[in-house]
Structure 1
Amino acid sequence: MRLPPPRGPITEALFRALEGPPGAARIDAAGPDDEDRQPALFALDDEDTQLALFACYELHYQGFDGVDDRWEWDPGLLGFRAALEEGFERSLAAAVPRPADPGPAGVRAALVALTCTDEEPLLSLFLQREASLENFREFVTHRSIYHLKEADPHTWAIPRLSGGPKAALVEIQSDEYGGGRRERMHSELFRATMRGLGLDDAYGAHLHRVPGVTLAISNAMSLFGLHRRWLGALLGHLAALEMTSSVPNRRYATGLRRLGAGSRTVGFFDEHVVADAVHEQIAANDMCGGFAAAFPAYTGDILYGAACATELERRWAEHVMGCWQRGTGSLWTEPVPA
């Protein structure tokens, strides 16, 4: 994966530095001088800051072609990232009210309440009933940012857990990684979906196309995964993903079959209908419930992580459906200079 084109002064400064050797240049994380613009600068859909934060996090995953691996732990880069994270955490806190703490015994019920809604998810219904192949290509392009590294952000939690919660997470992640069979890894199944839709299935191939609201979803996972203080939020985040997966994935599979897609193209979604119905029980009861019982002080963090997952997903779906309803594309296009 190569560095994408910058989207503003922050990514310009970051990418310019990453093209050189670590420690050779100071990365200026400062935003506009006008303090009134600071909240907008770190908005959850801001193109410049979300892309910059994503790029900083990517150094802990597979990195970028031509970028020295030593940048991963460069003190200047970490200071730059910390400034971005501070703004991102403030934006999350403003957008996601912290749920009431029900105590360890109430974690399961609270997670169910957070992930169940009376509102019909318009995006999944649209993809099931009306979407064109081009709509599905856009949808899969958005999803490729996470699904080509599926499970990786949550795996950071494994060495930070012990006992029952650790065993529960390993059980979930083992399925995500195909039980040791490459062709069954969820990331590989998603690659088959991309190929079936005529899309480039290379890791990070579409980073330059996805908007900030999509990047924010992955950034939240990496934020929670890379900071041990957010361990409870990471577990709640994973539980929310598992508990809201089966029904939408069934609809996606139905929509693709309606359009004539074959079993290999639909296989990723079929897999999640079955697997996540099991995973949601393990995640809510054994993983989150067990962790809350062992560490009651983290119960609130578990629910906050779940709430962040559902809110960021809602904002992303609202963006995509809003674009389609207006007859426009939902992917990033560079603004035309004035």
Structure 2
Amino acid sequence: MKLPAPRGPVSEFVISALAQEPHDLGAVDDPATDDDLHLTLFVLYELHYRGWDGVDDRWEWHPGLIALRTRSEALFEADLRALAVPETDLDVPHALIAMTRDDSGPQLSKFIRGRASMAQFREFATHRGVYHLREADPHTFAIPRLSGPAKAALIEIQIDEYGGGVARRMHQELFKDTMTALNLDTTYGAYVDVVPAPTLANNNLMSFFGLHRRLRGALLGHLAAYEMTSTAPNRNYGNGLRRLGGDEKATRFYDEHVEADAVHEQIAAFDMCGAFAAAEPELAGDVLFGAACALALENRWAQHVLDKWAAGESSLR
């Protein structure tokens, strides 16, 4: 993947650091909306996935970049910790159910189902492509950090995400079919340059949780929140694309999630997060923290998109 163009002083630091020309970390006014901070984190995190064209793989653990990532993550985590987190004296599975049943957030999927234009659906898929082209990968970091029933449950979910070992059925590949039908570039990371901070923050959240063993509970809570809030929105997305003329192949990604995630909901809440909380009760609160972060950042992103569209503007950069 090609390095994205610098957007400001922090990302210029990253690009120059990769060229072995260190600079100072720039100031960040609002970690929730700072494009530069989240581009920086995305660039650094990608070194742990598929890397960057022309960048030696040994940069993944360069002390200077790890130090920069640590400082950037501190800003990001401070923003996350300021989010409202539910009480932790409830049993985790039922607390997750209560959290994910709240339907008071931005109604992006309903807008897409009934009102979005083809241009808006293409924008929506452009945002989502940053995540969906590596969909299951961040949560897979948790597998070696778990044991027993929680590990088995996570693997059960991930097996479906990876198409049961059949490459063409992997959800990453199914989304390529959707992007192809929309005449979008299916190259991994093709749209990192054009998506705003809320989109990058959603992706960075998964990587932040996934790359820190101390946050393994938060990573499971994040995955649970995604699985438990996926069925209805994906039904809306699929129906919205059909309304716009999308065929069976174009909508298969969304239709697959309607079926798979209806099963995953119970596995994620009870077999994965419930078992994890029982095995490591001191981390039960982290599970709910991860779920709360997933829901809050998703709502931020959805509100950004809807606000831009309501103003007659593009939701992309």
Which residue of 20, 38, 46 maps to 2:34? Answer: 46
Matched, 1:212 2:200: no
Deviation at 1:163, TM superposition (A): 0.7
Which residue of 71, 74, 77 maps to 1:83? Answer: 71
CA deviation profile, 1:201-238 (whole Å, cap 9, x unmatched): 01001110100110000111000000000010000000
Deviation at 1:113, TM superposition (A): 1.2
Matched, 1:17 2:5: no
Deviation at 1:280, TM superposition (A): 0.9
- Matched with 1:247 is 232
Contact 1:11 1:49 in 2 (8 A): yes
Output aligned runs, 1:64-143, within 5 Å. Answer: 64-94=52-82, 96-102=83-89, 106-119=91-104, 121-143=106-128
Aligned amino acid, residue 277 of structure 2: A
Matched, 1:28 2:24: yes
Paired residues in the alignment total: 317
- Distance in 1 between the 2:67 and 2:132 partners? 28
- Distance in 2 between the 1:211 and 1:182 partners? 30
Contact 2:174 2:253 in 1 (8 A): yes
Secondary structure of the 1:207 match is coil
- Matched with 1:35 is none
Deviation at 1:121, TM superposition (A): 4.5
TM-score (ref. length: structure 1):
0.92
Secondary structure of the 1:209 match is coil
Aligned amino acid, residue 37 of structure 2: T
Deviation at 1:17, TM superposition (A): 2.1
Aligned amino acid, residue 167 of structure 2: R
Deviation at 1:108, TM superposition (A): 1.1
Which residue of 167, 173, 179 maps to 1:182? Answer: 167
Contact 1:27 1:76 in 2 (8 A): no
- Distance in 2 between the 1:27 and 1:240 partners? 38
Contact 1:27 1:77 in 2 (8 A): no
What residue ranges of structure 2 are gaps of 5+ in the alignment? none
Contact 1:249 1:269 in 2 (8 A): yes
Matched, 1:278 2:263: yes
TM-score (ref. length: structure 2):
0.98
Deviation at 1:26, TM superposition (A): 3.1
Matched, 1:235 2:220: yes
What residue ranges of structure 1 are gaps of 5+ in the alignment? 33-37, 333-338
Change (3 A) 1:131 1:81: same
Deviating runs (4+, > 4 A) in structure 1? Answer: none
Aligned amino acid, residue 88 of structure 2: D
Contact 1:28 1:80 in 2 (8 A): no
Identity %: 58
- Matched with 1:335 is none
